[in-house]
A and B are shown apart, each in its own frame.
Chain A
Amino acid sequence: MTGRTMRRSIGAGVGALLVPAPSYAHLVNTGLGPFYDGVSHFVLTPEDLLPVLALALLAGQRGSRAGRYTLFALPLAWLLGGLVGLALPTMRDTPALTAVSFMALGGLVATEARVRPEWVCSLAAVLGVVHGFLNGSAMSQAKLGILGLGGIVSTLFMVVALAAAMVVAIRVPWGRIAVRVAGSWIAAVGLLFLGWSLRTATG
């Protein structure tokens, strides 16, 4: 190998080493495959987790019928919205939507609003479609696909089942108060986050 060829090879090698590769540093990447990436994404994303938790608490407050409706309506709607998001990805930052869903659902839990089970089911459908669509868009860009979506839907099914059943089973008065306090905290987070997103939007 001549000196010139050697220098060329070294130059090309250094260049190749310096090429920035795609970075997935902050999307959840478990290394266990897209299904578990979806599971982790849901658990570690408060924008998704907290409204689902609030809805599950609300469903539990409204009794076992509302809980059963939500248990199936929310994952199905999430899956539907997610499939649309996978097919038509339009990634948008939606802090105001996040804040409003926190305030609305947290407020309903905090006031122990007398919402009929059918309305709780409707709320679940709306929440599921909207958040599912956003998740689907994110999954599409992160190339997690339908398996990632499956991980999210499976996890939220379990979260709703556990949280709603726990609230339905509460018999002691302080337990119901604790649920209302949790709702007020979620609403308070939404209110504060709304201010943050408005500040960001206005620069």
Chain B
Amino acid sequence: MSRTRAVAVVAALWPTLAWAHTAQGRAEGLLAGLHHPVSGLDHVLAMVSVGLWGAQLGAPAVWLLPVTFPMVMSFGGMLGLMGAPLPGVEIGIALSGVLLGLAVLAEWRPSLWAAGVIVGFFAIFHGHAHGTELPAGASGLLYSIGFVTATGTLHVVGIGVGTIHRWSWGRIVLRGAGGLVALAGAFFLWRALA
């Protein structure tokens, strides 16, 4: 009997080929990536503002800014993932809300490259914050896909709302929205400094 038990125990513990973990964390990674950019109001306001500002500026800024932001943000995310330190991340994120909101409020029209540099500069802070908060065990690729898709979608929402810029009342509403974003950014800045 003891021999039979020993055989049964060995058989139970015998490892056989398992591919069970090749795709572990995929759904979790995608959902985490999709959720992360919309999880904080400071991120959401800045990303929507990029779309609003692009819509105010018109072509080619209307598509160039929303292309610049995810790409540079991914670079910031890469730095965050690699553990490269970036000082004042929360302050940078809050300032992005203030400045982008003010740009929409004032219908500021800098040169295209200047607008791209401003958007790209703040995108690094947003990306770094996201990169450092990648949940452990999640699929990096699916997280990245969800993250970029959600960010881009927020820009598209901003551009969509920004199409009201063609009407005079729409321009006033957009500027008002910019003012609200700037106020919210100021609140986040105060909280980051406190």
Contact = CB atoms under 8 A, between A and B. Distances in A.
Contact of B81 (A7, A18, A141, A199): A199
B167 interface: no
Given A18-B12, A180-B67, A189 B148 contact: yes
A46 B1 contact: no
B194 interface: no
A120 interface: no
Contacts of B121: none
B20 A25 contact: yes
Interface string A111-154: 00000000000000000000000000000011000000000000
B183 to A, nearest CB: 30
Interface of A is mostly: helix
Interface residues of B, number: 47
Interface of B is mostly: helix
Interface stretch (A9-17, A58-66, A70-78, A155-163): A9-17
B88 to A, nearest CB: 20
Contacts of A184: 67, 70-71
A189 B145 contact: yes
Contact of A188 (B5, B70, B81): B70
A180 B19 CA distance: 37
Contacts of B185: none
B27 to A, nearest CB: 11
B20 A23 contact: yes
Contacts of A181: 63, 66-67, 152
Interface residues on chain A, size class: 35 or more
Contacts of B22: 26-27
A24 B145 contact: no
A12 B80 CA distance: 54
B83 to A, nearest CB: 7
Instruction: Pick the most buried of A22, A110, A195: most chain B CB atoms within 10 A of its CB.
Output: A195
Interface string A171-203: 000000100110011011101111111111010
Given A27-B22, A110-B71, 18 more contacts: A8-B4, A11-B8, A12-B4, A14-B8, A18-B11, A18-B12, A20-B16, A22-B16, A22-B18, A25-B19, A26-B24, A181-B66, A185-B152, A187-B74, A189-B141, A191-B75, A192-B148, A200-B140
Interface of B: 1, 4-5, 7-9, 11-12, 14-24, 63, 66-67, 70-71, 73-75, 77-83, 127, 131, 134, 140-145, 147-149, 152
The 8 closest A-B pairs by CB, nearest first: A15-B8, A195-B78, A196-B140, A195-B81, A18-B12, A26-B23, A192-B144, A191-B74
25 contacts: A20-B14, A23-B20, A24-B19, A26-B19, A27-B19, A27-B23, A46-B141, A46-B142, A50-B145, A180-B67, A184-B67, A184-B71, A185-B148, A187-B74, A189-B74, A192-B127, A192-B131, A192-B143, A192-B147, A193-B140, A195-B131, A196-B81, A196-B134, A197-B140, A199-B81
